[in-house]
Amino acid sequence: MTEIKRSAGIPGRPWAWIPTLYIAEGLPYFAVNVLTVLMYTNMGIGLTEMAFYTGWLYLPWVIKPFWSPFVDLFSTKRHWTIAMQLLMGVTFAAIGFLLPGTAFFTTTLVCFWLLAFLSATHDISADGYYMLALSDHDQAAFVGVRSTFYRVASVIGQGGLVILAGWLETRCEAVSSAWAIVFAALSIFFLLIGLYHIKAMPTPAADHAVPGVTARTILRDFAMTFVTFFRKPGVWAALLFMLFYRLPEAMCIKLVQPFLKAPLAEGGLGLTTSEVGFVNGTVGVIALLAGGVLGGVAISRGGLKKWLWPMALSLTLPCLVYCFLAMWQPVDFFLICASIAVEQFGYGFGFTAFMLYLIYFSQGPSKTSHYAFCTAFMALGMMVPGMAAGWIHDRLSEYNLWNINGPTGYVNFFWWVMLCCVVTFLVCFPLHIDPEFGRRKK
């Protein structure tokens, strides 16, 4: 294994910094896009306001390709990465400090907005640093390590921290105090991880501001890349696929946690905060990963074209799970966990086709930049429907379409999600895919 020497002469061992780097990359994303949903709901923010304003927090990941080239203008990827970690630590501290205040919703949203930009910038610099600090051989060798520890961050962010918040909610006088402690813990973690990386992350010789690059050349190259992206064959069919293939998930993502947490009398399942963390952050994540692994194996044997439609069905049909849960409101925790596991497994299996198609469409000159555009449209496709989800729920709650005694908002909403599944199928029709793409060569 290639060893990269730090400027001080201490060997930079990849195992010393890759796991912590990718936990640090994942945690802010889940804090911004997952913890905010449950925290604001528990603190009394309505579904319409919660979904709309937290939906805006996706924006930095949508527009990330527009500012990522400018990172090369100033300093090094290593400095950017460590600086973002320290600044995120300060921002988490500010969130914890502001949560108990009367204007917590406005003030913490500003902080989360800043945190989202810091996190997106950290993604840019950390991924760039990974490629500079490792040889081609070591990049391939550690790609599984980086993805594994990003998934560890998912378990911590969606599971461990939520379980901790639920435990604290039962012991603190106010819900805001419980969540303030959670964000204080995140602050301490990021401040410590930033200081640790000052020593642990090597200083590659190739990591420096790119000479001869100016804002003008960046804008010129960006414009050229943008034009070539929209000149690719089948671009409009591809854009529709990127924006709408995941429409059912985009609708669900902001309301699943409030649904699990809402009392039975309000149409929910009445789980505690800790139970929500366990269902989503452990059972759900494990099932999601299992579905993704099986999806990868399936495509390697049959190719993306063969598996596109089965995976589209897998992505959409398990949404019936939420219709069942909303209509019958089971109280058996094992049954709820099993239902969420089925849905997440199906989603993980179906999502594989989406990510492989982004890689397929990005092939050719400027494939890295084109892939960045694809992920931006992917984030936009998640952002806009999620912003509208709370409003749609509230409007649909005015109708009793199923002759149900009690609130009908969640029932109607999840059947609306099933109707959105039709869009997933429609955007698959015009795609043209090489039958051999994704298939493992014999």
Residues 31-74 pLDDT 10s: 999 999 999 999 999 999 999 999 999 999 988 887 777 776 77
**pLDDT of the residue at 141:** 72
**HSE of 274, CA atoms in CB hemisphere, 13 A:** 9
| DSSP symbols for 264-276 | GGGTS----HHHH
Confidence tier at 373 by pLDDT (50, 70, 90): confident
Beta-carbon contacts of 342 under 8 Å, excluding residues fewer than 6 positions away, are 287, 318, 321
* CA angle 414–415–421, rounded 5-degree value: 95
Q: Is residue 177 pLDDT above 90, yes or no? A: yes
What are the beta bridge partners of residue 12?
A: 4
Helix 161-169 vs helix 175-200: crossing angle, to nearest 10: 150
- Strand duo 4-5 + 11-12: pairing: antiparallel
**pLDDT of the residue at 341:** 92
**pLDDT of the residue at 437:** 82
In CATH terms, is domain 221-442 a member of 3.30.70.3280?
Answer: no
Average of per-residue pLDDT across 158-178 = 92
CB atoms inside a 10 Å sphere around CB 325: 23
**pLDDT of the residue at 289:** 87
Q: Identify the three-state secondary structure at position 5.
A: strand
Q: Is there a shared CATH topology between the 1-213 domain and the 221-442 domain?
A: yes
**CA–CA separation, 362 and 264 (whole Å):** 46
**pLDDT of the residue at 1:** 36
Q: Is residue 9 pLDDT above 70, yes or no? A: no
> What percent of the chain has pLDDT above 90?
52
Helices marked H in 6-159: 14-30, 36-42, 47-55, 59-62, 64-67, 77-98, 104-133, 136-155
In whole angstroms, how far apart are CA 259 and each of 63, 271, 277, 311?
30, 9, 13, 26
Q: Dihedral sign, CA of 217, 221, 224, 226?
A: negative
N-terminal to C-terminal alpha carbon distance within the chain:
29
**pLDDT of the residue at 10:** 37
**pLDDT of the residue at 65:** 80
Confidence tier at 213 by pLDDT (50, 70, 90): low
CB 17 within 8 A of CB 197: yes
CB 267 within 8 A of CB 405: no
Confidence tier at 442 by pLDDT (50, 70, 90): low
CB 57 within 8 A of CB 113: yes
**CA–CA separation, 422 and 425 (whole Å):** 5
Domain 1-213 in this protein, CATH class: mainly alpha
What is the DSSP code (8-state) at residue 12?
E
Beta-carbon contacts of 80 under 8 Å, excluding residues fewer than 6 positions away, are 71, 74, 121, 122, 124, 125, 129
**CA–CA separation, 386 and 58 (whole Å):** 10
244-253, 340-349, 360-369, 373-382 — which is least confidently predicted? 360-369
Q: Is residue 295 pLDDT above 70, yes or no? A: yes
Beta-carbon contacts of 117 under 8 Å, excluding residues fewer than 6 positions away, are 60
In whole angstroms, how far apart are CA 34 and each of 104, 209, 247, 255, 284?
18, 34, 18, 11, 13
Residue in 410, 436, 276, 264 with CA at minimum distance from that of residue 356: 436
What are the beta bridge partners of residue 11?
A: 5
**pLDDT of the residue at 105:** 95
Task: Calculate the average pLDDT of the chain.
Answer: 87
Tokens at 312, concatenated: 């589209």
**pLDDT of the residue at 366:** 74
**CA–CA separation, 192 and 216 (whole Å):** 37
Tokens at 392, concatenated: 């749609």
**CA–CA separation, 166 and 175 (whole Å):** 9
Confidence tier at 255 by pLDDT (50, 70, 90): very high
Tokens at 104, concatenated: 């917590």
Query: Domain locations in the chain?
Result: 1-213, 221-442
Q: Is residue 11 pLDDT above 50, yes or no? A: no
6-15, 174-183, 342-351, 406-415 — which is least confidently predicted? 6-15
Q: What is the pLDDT of residues 267-288, one digit of tens each?
A: 899 999 999 999 988 888 899 8
What is the DSSP code (8-state) at residue 171?
T
Tokens at 12, concatenated: 């930079």
Q: Is residue 8 pLDDT above 50, yes or no? A: no
CB 207 within 8 A of CB 390: no
| DSSP symbols for 314-350 | HHHGGGHHHHHHHHH----HHHHHHHHHHHHHHHHHH
Q: Is residue 75 pLDDT above 90, yes or no? A: no
Longest Cα–Cα distance of the chain, Å, equals 73
